[in-house]
């Protein structure tokens, strides 16, 4: 004989069996959302997952508060019955349950939730311990994919000002204290609107370690693309927006002690770094990102940039005796400078290197030119004034005027054990920075790929670079 059915009271619609199973499922669901939130916190657009967590909070509040109305419980129990019957996907059903709420996370009522967890009699902490161990590997994989995505977002900004705005917004979304510093224009035109980006954690205005690189690139703009050879291509992937992205990702692992400085003008006049000296920092370690092939530089060559100006008298080329060519003495001087053998040498830095970069003069082939000029650049291994005097002395012999518009001395750099080392022949912003005690130069990819039409960085190197920067910062902070 079948026992008579008993109408369940509103307070007992949700059976203990249902409650235990539901709590187990919900804890799993909540942990997955928490992990997603942790990962998305380092993603360039964290808002969607934050909104999702806020949307579930009201439903969580309603499900676990003591004053839940009977109708809602019946509705939830009906949904759970369908889950048990296999009519709905497990997590899809849970997602539907939580999909329409909008209350902030601050309204989450934890006490009823904790009480229900204890009722569930589930070995929660054992499971969470295993999940935590696995999540470390998942976080690393997420960081790998994130740095590639972030690099492409930066590279695809066609102007430096767009890149500056992107970095500013990205950092502010992750609770960094961000300030923009106006960099004086090279030609006095304020429309150029160059900006430095400086970011610190709140309450840590003068960090011990500052990651630094530059957001400006050489023309032309080349959008990002991934090749079948395992390389990421585009203007700036190597020099140096890929390194900026890696520093951004790495810095998220530090709540204090690490700051970020991204300057403009490195490719032209170093005005960004010169202006950064006015920030009033006293940084113990400046970690500069440039292409170094995963090696750490022990020294960097200096630079001397000069303009040679030759004056003449123009005339018809059929009667050259009536004028004076400006190009002939300039050519002779350049030949003499290129063949000169007694420039300074250094046992570590090597030899002085001369490049004749730009030559100009004349208006037509049938006119003797009355003016000619050349822009030359030395990679110096001694004080630049030594080479400057050599050039000036020989220029006077040809009645050529010289103008020096940039120079700096070689720099000896700090390096960490465990990294291969090299000497950087190229110039960086380091000599123009006056606010650090020790400087390090480190990055991925090759300087030989920078400034080319096929500028590239290995995806493997790019994915590993944030971990290298994290290791460097931790080592410096512990020293």
Tokens of residue 237, six digits:
């992937």
Residue 193 is predicted with a pLDDT of: 85
Q: Are 194 and 230 in contact (CB under 8 A)?
A: no
Any idea which of 51-65, 324-338, 395-409 has the lowest mean pLDDT?
51-65
Tokens of residue 145, six digits:
């994919």
Residue 469: exposure state from Cβ atoms within 10 A (0-12, 13-18, ≥19): buried
For residue 162, pLDDT over 90 is answered with yes
What SS3 string covers 371-439? EEEEEEEEEECCCHHHHHHHHHHHHHHCCCEEEEEEEECCEECCCCCCCCEEEECCCCCHHHCCCEEEE
pLDDT digits (tens, 9 = 90+) for 185-244: 766 655 678 999 999 999 999 999 999 999 999 999 999 999 999 999 999 999 999 999
Residue 293 is predicted with a pLDDT of: 97
Residues in a beta bridge with 252:
none
Q: Give 334's pLDDT tier (boundaries 50, 70, 90).
A: very high
Distance linking the first and last C-alpha atoms of the chain: 81
Residue 185 is predicted with a pLDDT of: 79
For residue 470, pLDDT over 90 is answered with yes
Any idea which of 59-73, 115-129, 232-246, 409-423 has the lowest mean pLDDT?
59-73
Alpha-helical (H) ranges within 173-262 are 241-251
Q: How far apart are CA 416 and CA 468, in angstroms?
A: 12
Residue of 352 and 132 predicted with greater confidence? 352
> What is the reported pTM?
0.69
For residue 98, pLDDT over 70 is answered with no
For residue 86, pLDDT over 80 is answered with no
- Non-local (6+) Cβ contacts of 440 within 8 A are 285, 286, 287, 288, 296, 297, 413, 414, 415, 416, 472, 476
pLDDT digits (tens, 9 = 90+) for 31-83: 666 655 555 544 444 455 545 555 554 444 444 443 333 334 334 434 434 43
Any idea which of 29-38, 264-273, 391-400, 446-455 has the lowest mean pLDDT?
29-38
Residue with tokens 């990055």: 443
For residue 28, pLDDT over 70 is answered with no
Q: Helix or strand or coil: residue 231? A: strand
Residues in a beta bridge with 263:
214
Which among 173, 427, 415 has a CA at the least distance from the CA of 287? 415
Give how far Cα 461 sits from Cα of 50, 98, 242, 247, 457, Å.
31, 41, 10, 14, 7
Q: What is the mean pLDDT of residues 107-117?
A: 45
Q: Are 289 and 211 in contact (CB under 8 A)?
A: yes
According to DSSP, residue 291 is labeled -
Residue with tokens 């539901």: 22
Which among 91, 96, 122 has a CA at the least distance from the CA of 20? 122
Any idea which of 112-116, 223-227, 343-347 has the lowest mean pLDDT?
112-116
Q: How far apart are CA 60 and CA 98, in angstroms?
A: 8
Residue 360 is predicted with a pLDDT of: 96
For residue 473, pLDDT over 50 is answered with yes
- Non-local (6+) Cβ contacts of 19 within 8 A are 116, 119, 120
pLDDT digits (tens, 9 = 90+) for 346-361: 999 999 999 999 999 9
Residue 81 is predicted with a pLDDT of: 43
């Amino acid at each position: 004989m079948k026992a008579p059915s008993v109408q369940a009271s509103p307070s007992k619609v949700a059976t203990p069996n249902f409650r235990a199973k539901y709590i187990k499922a919900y804890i799993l669901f909540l942990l997955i959302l928490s992990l997603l939130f942790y990962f998305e916190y380092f993603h360039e657009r964290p808002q969607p997952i934050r909104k999702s967590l806020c949307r579930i909070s009201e439903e969580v509040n309603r499900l676990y508060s003591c004053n839940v109305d009977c109708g809602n419980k019946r509705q939830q129990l009906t949904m759970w019955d369908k889950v048990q019957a296999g009519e709905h996907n497990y997590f899809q059903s849970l997602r539907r349950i939580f999909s329409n709420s909008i209350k902030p996370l601050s309204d989450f009522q934890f006490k009823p939730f904790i009480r229900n967890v204890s009722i569930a009699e589930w070995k929660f902490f054992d499971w969470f311990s295993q999940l935590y161990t696995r999540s470390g590997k998942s976080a690393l994989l997420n960081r790998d994919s994130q740095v590639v995505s972030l690099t492409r977002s930066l590279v695809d900004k066609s102007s430096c000002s767009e890149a500056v705005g992107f970095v500013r917004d990205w950092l502010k979304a992750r609770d960094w204290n961000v300030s923009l510093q106006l960099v004086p224009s090279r030609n006095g035109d304020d429309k150029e609107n160059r900006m430095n980006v400086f970011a610190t954690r709140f309450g840590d205005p003068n960090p011990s370690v500052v990651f630094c690189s530059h957001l400006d690139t050489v023309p032309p703009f080349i959008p990002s693309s991934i090749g079948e050879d395992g390389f990421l291509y585009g203007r700036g992937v190597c020099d140096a927006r890929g390194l900026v992205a890696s520093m951004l990702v790495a810095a998220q692992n530090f709540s204090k002690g690490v700051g970020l400085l991204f300057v403009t003008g490195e490719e032209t006049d170093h005005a960004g770094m010169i202006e950064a000296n006015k920030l009033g920092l006293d940084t113990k370690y400046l970690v500069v990102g440039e292409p170094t092939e995963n090696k750490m530089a022990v020294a960097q060559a200096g630079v001397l940039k000069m303009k040679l100006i030759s004056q003449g008298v123009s005339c018809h080329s059929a009667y050259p005796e009536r004028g004076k060519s400006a190009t002939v003495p300039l050519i002779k001087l350049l030949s003499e400078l290129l063949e000169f053998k007694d420039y300074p040498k250094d046992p570590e830095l090597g030899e002085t290197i001369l490049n004749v970069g730009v030559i100009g003069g004349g208006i037509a082939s049938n006119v003797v030119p009355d003016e000619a000029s050349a822009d030359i650049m030395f990679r110096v291994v001694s004080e630049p004034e030594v080479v400057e005097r050599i050039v000036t002395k020989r220029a006077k012999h040809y009645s050529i005027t010289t103008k020096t518009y940039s120079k700096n001395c070689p720099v000896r750099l700090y390096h960490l054990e465990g990294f291969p080392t090299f000497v950087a022949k190229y110039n960086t912003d380091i000599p123009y920075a006056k606010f650090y005690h020790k400087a390090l130069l480190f990055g991925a990819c090759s300087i030989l790929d920078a400034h080319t039409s096929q500028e590239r960085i290995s995806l493997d190197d790019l994915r590993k670079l944030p971990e290298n920067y994290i290791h460097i910062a931790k080592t410096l902070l512990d020293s």
